[in-house]
Amino acid sequence: MSKIFVIFGATGKQGGALINFILQDEALSKEFNLRGITRKASKPEAVQLKERGVEVIEADMNDPPSLRPALEGAYAVFAMTNFWDKASAEAEVAQGKAIADVSLTAGVSLMIWSSLPNVTKMSNGELTTVEHFDSKAEVEDYIRSLNFPSSAFFLPGWFMQNFWDNFVPKPKMISEDTVLFPFAWPPDMRMPLIDIGDAGKYLAPALRDPAKYNGAQLVSATAFYSAQEIVDIWSGVSGKNVRLATGDEVEQFITHPLQRDVLRPGPLFLRYGYFGPNGDRDLDWTLAQLDPADKLTTWEEFLVRNGPWDFE
């Protein structure tokens, strides 16, 4: 009998990618019956999941009682939250803990949490305002304290898709052949890029062998790319000269105060790195766990797949 795998964010980037991966994997698609959680089962993305054989249930992380029927009978759970939905660390922690509590009561055997590093701890108290990292790390610590039979933690890098997020300004043509990339990142600053569509490939080891990966942090990215490599590769794919913005140039793109933290390099990225001082080691470990058949999308491949690039 197939096991029930409950996936939060089923109509979003992370949950949707995991569903796609499992449905396309011969063994995992037989092992698991997928149950996608959404706040609105009638929206088109949820209807499409139903048509693909996914059970879709409405539940709200802000309403713990609504989670009980959603998690009833579940063997495994993939849980994630969107900090920016409320832009509140307190709200995100409450949501994550609610999912964990109800999952434990429901007898879930495998708990997978989409997490991030604790920047306050990593920086020895120097950086205390990177709340969208710290809140996820706080929930991770809480899940560890609950002693699920098995738990694993997915730590994704910078989504390649982030460069087209509605919150992020679009690159701008400033001459016939030059495009201004609206990030004032130092050329040598390194970022771990992940095509979030590959999420299932990173999580597959924990699904295939929960005991082996119990407690593991799956630090996830195709590779670290320098800011200069990011624009150079984009230049090669687009045929345009894509260049990094200067600090003064990036100001023209900022329409919300929070954008400044993204478009300008913060001390987290400059001094500690996205995943912290052991980021290279931790990423190498995760990559060594993956099935060689699960090829990861490179930045160049992502750009080619999403082109052609007609900049405004």
pLDDT, tens digit, 9 for 90 and up, residues 150-203: 999 999 999 999 998 888 888 999 999 999 999 999 999 999 999 999 999 999
Cα–Cα distance for residue pair 193/221, rounded to 1 Å? 5
DSSP-derived secondary structure for 90-133: HHHHHHHHHHHHHHHHTT-SEEEEE----HHHHTTTS----HHH
- In tens, the pLDDT along 36-67 reads 999 999 999 999 999 999 999 999 999 999 99
The domains located in the chain, with CATH, are: 3-148 (3.40.50.720)
For residue 16, the SS3 value is helix
Higher confidence at residue 2 or residue 34?
A: 34
| C-alpha torsion 194→197→198→199, nearest 10 | 90
Global confidence as pTM: 0.95
**Closest to 32 (Cα-Cα) out of 152, 203, 266, 171:** 203
Query: CA angle, corner 187, sides to 182 and 190, nearest 5?
Result: 95
Q: For 56-111, how does the pLDDT look when each residue is reduced to its tens digit (9 = 90+)?
A: 999 999 999 999 999 999 999 999 999 988 889 999 999 999 999 999 999 999 99
* Cβ-based neighbour number of residue 218 at 10 Å: 25
